[in-house]
Amino acid sequence: MNTFKNKDGKQILMAMVKGIQTNKEYLGEVDGLIGDGDHGMNMNKGFTLFENRFADKEFSFTEGLEELGTILFAEIGGSMGPIYGTILNDAASVGEDAEDIDVKVLAEMLRGGLAGLQEIVEAHIGDKTLVDTLEPAVKSLEESAALGEKFSLALNRMKKAAAAGRDSTKDMVAKFGRSSRLGERSRGVLDAGATSCCIILTAMAECFCGKGNSYDKKYNGQSALYATAGLASGG
């Protein structure tokens, strides 16, 4: 399969919801090490609001992204609501006219979301943010599109790129948000936004490919400081 019908996107959005819901506590634990600990709670709130409002409705992939983005932008606390809202809304705008989602279209959508984010936050690779997950994932998809790779291979590569990007934040010093006040003390811990972004991208990729969601599980009480291995394989 080299394409996915945009109109069949509901299952992908619901897989993304499940990934966040299942890992609410884990995301809170990661965030709590150098932040205020509310990332999991806020993300779960937004994704669950989306589920409650749209579980019984039909919608396309891009329509779902737009609705979820609008909820995250307007209805959850913290800085991540507007950030994720912008990413999802801008990604949806790029792909809204596509009947079929292929590697090229998905790459363009995620590139649009990243570009929208960087218009409001000047974050780049190495700043210990979700950009460290999202940008490598986008670049991986763009490379796969240029090579004409099959959807499943491209998405598997994207997952691995996202996971590597997420893991790279452990050795970085935070440049944005509450954790930036800690300076060197922010090193040694994953960034919560990079972690949630990896969960979302992995859920998306695995549902596109018809696989089970590897994030549809909890982390068995592991400390967030050491639970990176539970997330690290990306597949």
| Tens-digit pLDDT profile for residues 71-83 | 999 999 778 999 9
The tens digit of pLDDT for each residue in 96-127 reads 999 999 999 999 999 999 999 999 988 999 99
User: Could you list the residue range(s) of the whole structural domain that residue 47 is in?
Assistant: 3-218
Task: Kindly state whether residue 235 falls inside one of the protein's structural domains.
Answer: no
Summarised one tens digit per residue, pLDDT across range 50-61 is 999 999 999 999
CA 152 to chain centre: 18
Cα-only R_g, the chain: 16
Query: Is the residue at 230 inside a domain?
Result: no
Q: CA–CA separation, 230 vs 89, rounded Å? A: 30
Vertex 196, ends 194 and 202: CA angle to 5°? 100
In a domain, 11, yes or no: yes
- pLDDT of 194 higher than 90: yes
Q: Is the pTM of this model over 0.75?
A: yes
φ, ψ dihedrals at 97, nearest 5°: -95, 0
DSSP state of 78: S
Both structure tokens of 128: 């210990």
CATH number at residue 172: 1.25.40.340
The two structure tokens encoding residue 215? 């994030």
Distance between CA atoms of residues 95 and 22, nearest Å: 28
Residue 175 forms part of a structural domain: yes
pLDDT band at 19 (very low <50, low <70, confident <90, very high): very high
Residue type, 230: G
